[in-house]
Amino acid sequence: MASRPVAALPRPGSFIDWLTTARSDVPDEARGPLLGQLAVSSTSVLIGMLNWVMVAVLTLVRRPEPAILAVTGTAVIVLAIRIAVIHRVDQARRAGRPMQIEASLWCAMAWCAMHGVQSFVAMTTGDPVLMVLWTAQILGSLSAITAINFAAPRLAFLLVLLCLVPLVAGTPFSGYPGLLLLIPMAPPFLLGVWMILRNFHGLVVDTLVSEWSNARLARHDPLTGLLNRHGLDQALKSICTEASDRLTILCVDLDGFKLINDTYGHIAGDRLLEEVGARLSRAVRPADRVARIGGDEFMIVAQGLDPTATQALAERLVATLSGEPYLIDGTRVRVGASAGHASLPGDAEDIADLWVQADRALYAAKQAR
C-alpha cells in the first residue's frame, strides 16, 4: 500500500466526493490509494493529446469557421489549464505527498465536455471525413476514460456521457439519416460501459482492501487494535523524518495481570487488555502513538513534552489504569501499573538507545514499587 500513490480525500459532501465514493466497505485509509489511481500523469495527457491535435488541425483546415475556431480555442485553453494542474499533482506524487486531485478531476470533466462539443460541431458540418475522424476520436477517448478512471465508476461514467452524448445528439443535423442509428445504439453501449466499470472497480477494490487489511494486520495488535512493535517502529521512523521536537517514549507495564489471568482465565485476561488499551488511548493526545508491545506491556510515543509534562503524563497513565476497577464478565477486578520514560534528546543518543533507556526506566519504576 505504501508504494501506491495516495490521493487526499475530497471534501466530505462535495460533488467530487460523491463522484469518487467507492463501496461502503472501503475504509478511508484504503480509499486514498484507490483514488490515487485517478491521478494521470502529464506525460500520458500529452501523448493522448497527439491524436486530438491532428484531428483538431484537420478540422480547422477543412472548416475554418467561426464556431469551430471558437470551440477549438476554448479546448486549447482547457487543455493548458489541465496540464498545469496535473503537473502540480505530479510534483506531489514525486515528493511522496498526498495528491490533491479535485482540480484535476474538474479539468478532466471540462476536457471531456469540450471533446463532446467539438464532436457535435463536427457532426453538424455534414463533412463525412470530419464525422468519421471525430467519431473515432471519441471512441478512442472512451477507451482511455474507462481504463484510467475505473477507481471511480460514477466519475468515469460521467466522463463517458460528456464525450458521447453530444456526438450522438449531432447525428440528426449531419445530413446522413443512417447515422441516426447511433441514437438507439447508445443506451445498450452505455449500459455495457457501466457494467464493465462496476466489475473492474469491484476487482480493484477487493485487491486494495485486501492489501490494506494485510498491511494493517502487520502494524497493529489484533487484540487491542493498537500499534504493535513493528507499527511503532514505523511510526518512530516517520516522526524522526518529519519533525525535530523532543521525542519521548513511555513504557507502561501492568502489575498483577498474571494473577488475574490465572484466576479468571485467558479470555478474561484478553478482555482486560482490551480495556487497558482503550483507557490508554483515551488518556493521551490524538497525535500520540499507543502500542502494545507484547503481553501486558504497552508503549506511548509523544512529541514536544518537557520533563515536567512527561512526568505528569506518566503519573496520569498509572492513575488511569490503576484507579478504577475493570468490569470483566460481571466481576470487578483491579490491576496496578508502572511507567518509565526516556526522552531524546536528554536521556538517549538515538532511537535504539531511547528504547533501551525507556525500558530501563520502567524496570526501575517496578523495582521501586
The yes-or-no verdict on residue 183 having pLDDT over 50 is yes
- Looking at per-residue pLDDT, the higher value among 158 and 50 belongs to 158
CB neighbour class for 270 (10 Å; exposed up to 12, middle 13-18, buried from 19): middle
| Neighbouring residues of 78: CB distance < 8 A, sequence distance ≥ 6 | 107, 110, 111, 114
Residue 54: Cβ within 10 Å count: 12
The predicted-structure confidence for 282-294, as pLDDT tens digits, reads as follows: 988 888 899 998 8
**For residues 6 and 37, what is the distance between their CA atoms, to the nearest angstrom?**
8
Q: Partners of 301 in the beta sheet? A: 249, 289
C-alpha separations of 26 from 23, 30, 290 in Å:
6, 6, 24
Q: 243 in helix, strand or coil?
A: coil
The amino acid sitting at 360 is R
Confidence at 82, pLDDT banded by 50, 70, 90: very high
- Looking at per-residue pLDDT, the higher value among 131 and 330 belongs to 131
Domains of the chain plus CATH, in order, are 15-218 (no CATH), 229-368 (3.30.70.270)
| Neighbouring residues of 220: CB distance < 8 A, sequence distance ≥ 6 | 226, 227, 228, 231
The predicted-structure confidence for 44-56, as pLDDT tens digits, reads as follows: 777 778 889 999 9
The yes-or-no verdict on residue 242 having pLDDT over 70 is no
Q: Which pLDDT value is given to residue 2?
A: 46
The predicted-structure confidence for 167-181, as pLDDT tens digits, reads as follows: 999 999 999 999 999
The predicted-structure confidence for 184-240, as pLDDT tens digits, reads as follows: 999 999 999 999 999 988 888 888 778 777 877 888 888 888 999 888 888 887 776
- 32-42: b or e for each residue (b if 16 or more CB lie within 10 Å)? bbbbbbbbbeb
The yes-or-no verdict on residue 309 having pLDDT over 70 is yes
Q: Partners of 250 in the beta sheet? A: 300, 341
